[in-house]
């Protein structure tokens, strides 16, 4: 396996940064960045992209093909216990004499103990 991969960003070679400049005087070019393959990036998109910008450019240009790989036709759901709602009343009093109130909802995910 190669120790480096080229960035897959479609505009990577157009970014005007000093590390992309290659060539001799009179025939300079901007070149796509190389990405060193390390344990840090082996399971992330940074294995193929030098930055979030390059990743976003690629994703935006290819979103229809990306979604076609694994289309989602139904929603995903996570079972939860009934949420715990707590009502609070603040010290701020409105002009009409009522107090500021709000509700916080605490959602705890139910632990799935079934074996798949």
pLDDT at 110 over 80: no
pLDDT above 80 for 112: no
Average model confidence (pLDDT) across the chain: 88
Residue 35 lies in a domain: yes
8 lies in some domain: yes
86: helix, coil or strand? strand
Interval 16-25: pLDDT, tens: 888 889 999 9
* pLDDT value at 99 more than 60: yes
Domain count, the chain: 1
Residue 83 lies in a domain: no
In a domain, 107, yes or no: no
CA atoms of 20 and 104, how far apart (whole Å): 50
Residue 27 belongs to some domain of the structure: yes
Q: Span 8-21, mean pLDDT?
A: 89
What is the domain range of residue 19? 4-69
51-92 pLDDT, tens per residue? 999 999 999 999 999 999 999 999 988 777 778 888 888 888
CA gap 33, 116 in Å, rounded: 42
Inside any domain, residue 43: yes
């Amino acid at each position: 396996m190669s120790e480096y991969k080229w960035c897959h960003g479609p505009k990577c070679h157009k970014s005007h940064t000093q590390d992309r400049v290659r060539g001799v005087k009179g025939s300079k070019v901007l070149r796509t960045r190389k990405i060193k393959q390390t344990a840090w990036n082996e399971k992330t998109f940074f294995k193929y992209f030098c930055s979030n910008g390059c990743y976003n450019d690629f994703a935006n240009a290819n979103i229809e093909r990306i979604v076609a790989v694994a289309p989602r036709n139904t929603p995903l759901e996570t079972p939860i216990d009934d949420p715990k709602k707590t009502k609070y009343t603040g010290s701020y009093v409105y002009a009409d004499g009522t107090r500021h109130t709000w509700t916080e909802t605490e959602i705890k995910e139910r632990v799935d103990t079934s074996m798949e």
